[in-house]
Amino acid sequence: MENSLQALGFAGVKGVRVGKYLELFLEAETREEAAARLKDMAERLLSNPVIEDYNYSLQEVKL
Note the residues at the interface with other proteins (CB under 8 A).
Answer: 3-4, 6-8, 20, 45-46, 48, 50-52
For other proteins, the closer of residues 31 and 39 by Cβ is 39
Nearer to other proteins, 28 or 46 (CB): 46
CA angle 58, 34, 60 (to 5 degrees): 40
CB 28 within 8 Å of CB 34: yes
Whose Cβ is closer to other proteins: residue 18's or residue 61's?
Answer: 18
Q: 5: which residues sit within 8 A by CB, 6+ positions away? A: 13, 16
State in angstroms the smallest separation of the CB of 33 from other proteins. Answer: 23
